[in-house]
């Protein structure tokens, strides 16, 4: 199939899957227990790797930028540079990429295994809707938990930056904290929370679609997992640009 037509076809399939998942939220059964279980797996399970990523991202930002800021005698603004970079861009994107690698691959593998072992067909035969039972809880959990994980990553990133600034460059903690406070605005925080909502939707929909469209037995499961992580990561980066531009436009209108 032509690559362009294949892309359009997959985009259509993913859009239909997301729509069907959304409308099923407003009818019973809702499988609240499954949603909570997925939140636990996604949120609590991903917390260590997200916190570790956030801490060392903030640490390396200070490590790399402090000498340059010191050259221009503005090293007291190191906290501002870290806060702006993390909260606006690096925090949401890196948290999404970590979750895509850990959770997106797990979702694709789980659903793909259910497809090749004909468990999905058995669910349909018993009158259970696979989208309602399997897809909706995972997408909802990702949409709710990824912003919380992003906030946790941002906080640990700021702590990591403060540790490096204090222990390696002998900057007073109060000076770093004050520059962080001066560098954070409500618009930054709002944008840093809105982005992960869309990233969670992208990761969940792509992973579920790739899992449910698995073909070719166990080999196909591995292929679906790889495609899920790669495609979701690419779309997160692409969406980041367009969401950032949209947020700049709408938040600037809100200030007028």
Would you write out the chain's pLDDT as a tens digit for each of its 256 residues? 677 888 788 889 999 999 989 998 888 888 888 999 999 999 999 999 999 999 999 999 999 988 888 888 888 888 888 898 899 899 999 999 999 999 999 999 999 999 998 899 898 888 888 999 999 999 999 999 999 999 999 999 999 999 999 998 888 889 899 989 888 888 888 889 999 999 999 999 999 999 999 888 888 999 999 999 999 999 999 999 999 999 888 876 545 4
- Determine the angle formed by the axes of helices 78-85 and 45-71, rounding to 10 degrees: 140
Confidence (pTM): 0.90
27 by DSSP, 3-state: which? coil
What sign for the dihedral angle of Cα 40, 119, 22, 206?
A: positive
244 Cβ contact list (under 8 Å, min separation 6): 88, 89, 191, 195
CA distances from 141 to 23, 103, 197 (A): 16, 11, 10
In degrees, to the nearest 5, what angle opens at C-alpha 154 toward C-alphas 149 and 158? Answer: 150
Per-residue model confidence (pLDDT) at position 255: 53
Q: Domain ranges in the chain? A: 3-255
């Amino acid at each position: 199939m032509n690559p362009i037509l294949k892309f359009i076809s997959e985009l259509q399939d993913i859009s239909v899957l997301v729509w069907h998942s959304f409308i099923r939220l407003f009818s019973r059964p809702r499988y609240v227990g499954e949603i909570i279980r997925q939140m636990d797996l996604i949120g609590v399970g991903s917390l260590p790797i997200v916190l570790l990523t956030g801490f060392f991202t903030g640490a390396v930002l200070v490590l790399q930028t402090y000498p340059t800021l010191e050259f221009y005698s503005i090293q007291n603004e190191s906290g501002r540079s870290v806060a702006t970079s993390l909260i606006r861009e690096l925090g949401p994107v890196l948290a999404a990429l970590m979750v895509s690698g850990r959770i997106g691959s797990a979702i694709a593998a789980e659903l793909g295994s259910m497809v090749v072992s004909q468990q999905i067909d058995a669910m349909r035969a018993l009158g259970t809707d696979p989208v309602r039972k399997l897809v909706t809880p995972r997408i909802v959990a990702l949409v709710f938990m990824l912003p919380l994980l992003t906030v946790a990553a941002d906080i640990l990133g700021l702590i990591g930056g403060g540790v490096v600034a204090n222990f390696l460059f002998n900057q007073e903690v109060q000076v770093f904290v004050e520059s962080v406070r001066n560098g954070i605005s409500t618009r930054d925080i709002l944008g840093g929370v809105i982005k992960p909502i869309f990233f969670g939707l992208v990761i969940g929909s792509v992973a579920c679609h790739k899992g449910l469209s698995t073909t070719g037995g166990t080999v196909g499961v591995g292929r679906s997992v790889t495609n899920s992580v790669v495609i979701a990561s690419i779309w997160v980066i692409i969406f980041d640009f367009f969401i950032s531009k949209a947020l700049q436009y709408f938040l600037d209108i809100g200030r007028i």
